[in-house]
Structure 1
Amino acid sequence: MAIFQSDHVKGIKDVPYPAVAGMVCAARFAMSVPANFALNDIFELAVIPAGCRVVDIVAFDCDDLDSNGTPTLSLDVGIMSGEAGDPNQSRTCGAEFVAGATIGRTGGVVEPSIVTAFRTGRANIQRAIGVKVAAAAATPQAGTIGLTVLYAAE
């Protein structure tokens, strides 16, 4: 298992912070996925600033990452353990927002359909939203994934 980090997670790109409590920020996060990804790999994609909670995931979008004629790829989208950017490779990724998405088989967009997506709490640390390879691709190929996140300070 490997963890691949986006430019936002690495601190190369800034993450906006709400100006006042209750204010909602929208941020778009995207990253390239290498062709050598494997089962249980995690793409640490988005950052939830400290003191904020996710209000909504507008869309999770993904290129075709499995070029096989009978694709098998599925992806989970959720909050990662630990602090965003932590290099510890034993961190985990939940499925609070999307579980078992098959959009990586042909490319597409999906919105959250799990109640936990709308019930995340705030934390005192900067957290990350990850995309986990829940079922391996039959023939992995490179592409791009993206996530548009709405979050608010509390």
Structure 2
Amino acid sequence: MPILQSPWATGQRTIPVGDCSADQTAQLFEFALPVAGLAVGDIIELAVLPANNSPVDCILIAEKLDNGGAPAIAFDVGLMSGDVGDKVSARTCGAELYAAANVGQAGGIARPTLASAFTIDPADKDRSIGVKITAAAQAQAAGKKVRLMLQYRPV
């Protein structure tokens, strides 16, 4: 199960943080699907939640990612284990933000419905937010994007 990474996960893009204790910051993270189809269990290291911050809100935005006659793609979105940018270690991906999201089947947006999306405690290190494929696409649409608009604040 490979880990695919966005430019934020690899450090090619910086992650903004507020400069005052009550500042809320919003960042749009995105990843374009590769030509090779994603398999169940594959993880996209999409976003980074900065140290000492907690999510305030998020919006999952997906283009139509599955061109099959009966689209099937679904994924969980949540905190990943391990260190940001680590592709060597075995890592897991939770479902604190979204569980079995199917927004990529037709394209659109999704707001969190899980209480766990709003109760993530801050940590003393940056943490990855991943997208774990739970159902593979019938016919993956290469180059289409999955995005996460993440709002967070220092705690």
TM-score by length of 2: 0.93
- Superposed, which structure 2 residues align to 1:2-81 within 5 Å? 2-36=2-36, 37-57=38-58, 59-81=59-81
Whether 1:127 aligns to 2:127 is yes
Percentage identity across aligned positions? Answer: 38
Separation in 2, partners of 1:136, 1:123:
32
Mapping 1:95-134, distance limit 5 Å: 95-134=95-134
* Counterpart position of 1:91: 91
How far, CA to CA, are the matches of 2:126 and 2:137 in structure 1? 30
Q: Which moved more, 1:132-141 or 1:1-10?
A: 132-141
Is the 1:3–1:89 contact (alpha carbons within 8 Å) kept by the matching residues of 2?
Answer: no
Aligned length: 153
Match of 2:154 in 1: 153
CA contact (8 A) 2:82 2:89 kept: no
Deviation string for 1:43-71 (max 9, x for gaps)?
Answer: 111111111111111x1011111111011
Aligned-partner residue type, residue 93 of structure 1: C
One-letter amino acid of the structure 2 residue matched with residue 76 of structure 1: D
Deviation, structure 1 residue 88: 2.9
- Partners of 1:65 and 1:90 in 2: CA distance: 26
Runs of 4+ in 1 over 4 A off after TM superposition: none
Q: In 1, Cα distance between the equivalents of 2:54 and 2:88?
A: 23
- Stretch moving more, 87-96 or 44-53: 87-96
In the aligned structure 2, how far is the partner of 1:47 from the partner of 1:24? Answer: 15
Higher helix content, 1 or 2: 1
- TM-score when scaled to structure 1? 0.94
Q: Which runs of 5+ in 1 are unaligned?
A: none
Alpha-carbon offset, residue 89 of structure 1: 4.7
- Alpha-carbon distance, 1:22 to partner: 2.7
